[in-house]
Structure 1
Amino acid sequence: MAGLEVVRIPVLSDNYAWLVHDPASGETLAIDPGEAAPMLDAAAARGWRIGQVWVTHWHPDHVAGIPDIKAGGAVVTGPAAEAARIPTLDRTVGEADVVTLGEHRATVIETPGHTLGHVVFHFAEAGLLFSGDTLFAMGCGRLFEGTPEQMFGSMRRLAELPGETAVYCGHEYTQSNGRYALTVEPENAELVARMAQVDALRAGGEPTVPTTIALELATNPFMRAPSAAALGERRAEKDRFRS
């Protein structure tokens, strides 16, 4: 089976939405489209038509572009637990459901914490994870609705994925996240080295995403938290942190 093409689409102020294209079938998917025009323009420039939209959670910066993309015939899939807040959904999914792009299968993993119904999409064979606002590079989502216990459980679920899994998250927060991470583990040599790379990338206006599960296990203070209580303390500190 041929591989998937993934295109990073910057939208709004610091969001990333994603186009995923299957060359074998010609199908194209948009994930978390906070704006429609950049997605539609990027697809058109490549001769692609967006036939599906997958949504990780209900926040407007992840769903605002859906109506204009759906007007072109796209089928919209998102979390059943948040269907009341995403009226554009055509299909609802939950834990262990399977969604497809061509012959590529992605498993839905429920990851409550940032929102109560948040889901992520894992293409196991392709080694790709679209993590929305659950797992960031060196960070995790704010606990707007969920608890530290829920986010800790979500981190543990994602930590079980293969280390080489590429993680495509919803925001360019890496530099701020890393600066906070250094206050937690200033002696973590892998973290220090990673931050030097991140600072160089951002100084050049370059993105820092995707990351990998292995890199997060080595440097992410939330994925490395030893307990739910520790994660909760770190999340509260990060909410107050000014880099």
Structure 2
Amino acid sequence: MFSIVPVTSVFRRAFPLSCLAKSPTQKIVSFPSWYSNQSAKEMKIDVIPALQDNYMYLLTDPKTNQAAIVDPVEPEKVLAAVNNRKVDLTTVITTHHHWDHAGGNDKLVGMVSKKLKVYGGDERIGSLTEKLSGGEEFNIGSLVIKSLATPCHTSGHICYFVSDPNSQESAVVFTGDTLFLGGCGRFFEGTPAQMYNALCNILGKLPSSTRVYCGHEYSASNLIFAIHVEPDNVDIQKKLEWVKKQRANRLVTVPSTIAEELSYNPFMRVNTNNVRKHTGKKSGIEAMGYLREEKNNFKAKA
């Protein structure tokens, strides 16, 4: 479960809810932050909501107290969490260059006295120091992070698979705007074939127990679309009911798991008979393209 820690923040956010390439100019709003509770011996992941529906994540190795921040769009909120947890922030992990994920990099680096490593797969990422192309590994203390190239939402999108070789604990993956709970990101700089590869050949092949931490809180709308695609899928129905309860209580819906996504996410189910029947397509790639276009124009019935 998640507990609320009082961290004050201000931010600007523009509509629509899709990713942004430039800083928006909307009214200032204030939100609290949610944090996850884990055993002192396990890797710690603090879930920090940002902007209107973004998620930042503070990843900490409890053995060394070293920490990394994923997509720190709100630096003040990040540093409040770092100070609250009394961790040693060493690294910035960036999934892609869009403003609502990488827009806080430069400011955060300037606010921290020590030199931070900034990882990412795109030269458009602010303060980038470590350029990735997929397959590289690096460490946060004793935690091992492997970069997974998942171009489509943006050409340089990277997901990050994190494991602890000294623990039986399930691994995690930070998926940015490639994989959401029940959905996937728009194909701004890629093709259906690329998203198919990312979801079905890369992320879908991770251990089924892998915990998925995505970049946005789109869970309810994604699952409403999923029910439209597979109205008789009980897994979707149960998950949507749970998500609605979580959001009614202002609680986050991450993480899901790879096993769960394979049971209710239509974009990861493009090779199933039900989804193929809905799309009328013969191949998974064609079904992927059809679903994305349909989702782009989908409006839930009241």
Using CA pairs under 8 Å that are at least 6 residues apart, name the structure with larger relative contact order, 1 or 2.
1
2:52 pairs, out of 9, 13, 17, with: 13
Determine the C-alpha separation between the residues in 1 that align with 2:125 and 2:46.
Answer: 24
Partner of 2:266: helix, strand, or coil?
Answer: coil
- TM-score (structure 1 length as normaliser): 0.95
Alignment of 1:69-148 (within 5 A): 69-71=108-110, 72=112, 73=114, 74-79=116-121, 82-83=122-123, 85-125=124-164, 126-148=170-192
Q: Residue type of the partner of 1:76?
A: V
Q: Are the equivalent residues in 2 in contact too, given 1:137–1:174 (CA < 8 A)?
A: yes
1:228 aligns with 2:285: yes
1:41 pairs, out of 70, 74, 80, with: 80
Query: Which sections of structure 1, spanning at least 5 residues, go unmatched?
Result: none
Q: Are the equivalent residues in 1 in contact too, given 2:106–2:126 (CA < 8 A)?
A: no
Deviation at 1:7, TM superposition (A): 0.2
Counterpart position of 2:216: 171
More off after superposition, 123-132 vs 58-67: 123-132
Counterpart position of 1:241: 298
Alignment identity in percent?
A: 38
More off after superposition, 163-172 vs 46-55: 46-55
Q: Are the equivalent residues in 2 in contact too, given 1:138–1:181 (CA < 8 A)?
A: yes
Instruction: Give the paired residue count.
Output: 240
Deviation at 1:8, TM superposition (A): 0.4
Query: Which sections of structure 2, spanning at least 5 residues, go unmatched?
Result: 1-40, 165-169, 272-283
Alignment of 1:187-198 (within 5 A): 187-198=232-243
Partner of 2:139: helix, strand, or coil?
Answer: strand
Partner of 2:250: helix, strand, or coil?
Answer: coil
Determine the C-alpha separation between the residues in 2 that align with 1:47 and 1:119.
Answer: 28
1:184 aligns with 2:241: no
Counterpart position of 1:199: 244
Cα distance per residue 1:195-225 (max 9 Å; x no partner) = 1111111122111111100000000000111
Q: Are the equivalent residues in 1 in contact too, given 2:103–2:126 (CA < 8 A)?
A: no
- TM-score (structure 2 length as normaliser): 0.77
Which stretches of structure 1, 4 residues or more, deviate above 2 A after TM superposition?
Answer: none
Structure with the greater alpha carbon radius of gyration: 2
